[in-house]
Structure 1
């Protein structure tokens, strides 16, 4: 019984990882529009189809007052969502639960004139191949 209580207390005091630990970001030397255009071209240039562009920055700005905030989080922020049929099949054949990571996303954000491009990190194992692909796409966009 003591082991169960100890385990429960440890779980309650565990500190969650910060979002910074769960994302890879690169500073972009240029405007938000240039970064977004570069990311779009880098994704399409690999023969991938962008399923959706989430205009997260616009949504946050539009809803700030509704949620009682006057803090501007981003000047602009978009997330490009897409999949790779070949790579998605490969990682899901390795573990069907890798479906939880699809679609993949690359974000572009401007925080007060500082533009960044990034993506979330993925768990060890087969999903590292997806993370490597995202990193290659971002590096292509940075050129």
Structure 2
């Protein structure tokens, strides 16, 4: 009986790690402003156009009171959204429903001074080429 209870408690403790499967994240050595500049520079430096920057952290802070919360989730959180015409065409020619993944995004967060850069994961198959592009951009931003 104790083993079953322990196994159940262990499963509850490890459940949040499963949620991490939806994103790849890397710690950034520097502040939020430096990280957002590095990500923007890495994207634009590849000849890609940033379609939109979602200031998600600002939105969450601005609307917290309106939704009855006093929790500060991020000290800063931005998502850079962009596409690659060449790569998007390639993955959508392989499967037109890959449109669901476009635009691509790289996020930067600051939680209590811990700055993170990351992106969501993609399914096996053609979308792994997009994931590789995102990782290359993030790796450049981390340098």
Structure 2: where are the runs of 5+ without partners?
1-14
CA distance in structure 2 between the aligned counterparts of 1:87 and 1:132, rounded to whole angstroms: 11
Residue matched to 1:112: 112
- The number of residue pairs the alignment matches comes to 128
Structure 1: where are the runs of 5+ without partners?
1-14
CA distance in structure 1 between the aligned counterparts of 2:29 and 2:64, rounded to whole angstroms: 28
Moved over 6 A (4+): none
Secondary structure of 2:116's aligned partner: strand
Q: 1:98-118 CA distances to partner (integer Å, 9 max, x unpaired)?
A: 000000000000001000000
Is 1:29 aligned to residue 33 of structure 2?
Answer: no
Aligned-residue RMSD, C-alpha: 1.2
Within-5 A mapping of 1:18-57: 18-57=18-57
Residue matched to 1:87: 87
CA distance in structure 2 between the aligned counterparts of 1:22 and 1:141, rounded to whole angstroms: 21
Q: 1:60-107 CA distances to partner (integer Å, 9 max, x unpaired)?
A: 000000111100000000000000000000000000000000000000
CA distance in structure 2 between the aligned counterparts of 1:68 and 1:48, rounded to whole angstroms: 39
How far 1:124 moved relative to its partner? Answer: 0.3
Secondary structure of 1:116's aligned partner: strand
CA distance in structure 2 between the aligned counterparts of 1:18 and 1:101, rounded to whole angstroms: 21
Q: TM-score, normalised by structure 1?
A: 0.87
Q: TM-score, normalised by structure 2?
A: 0.87
How far 1:20 moved relative to its partner? Answer: 1.4
CA distance in structure 2 between the aligned counterparts of 1:42 and 1:139, rounded to whole angstroms: 9
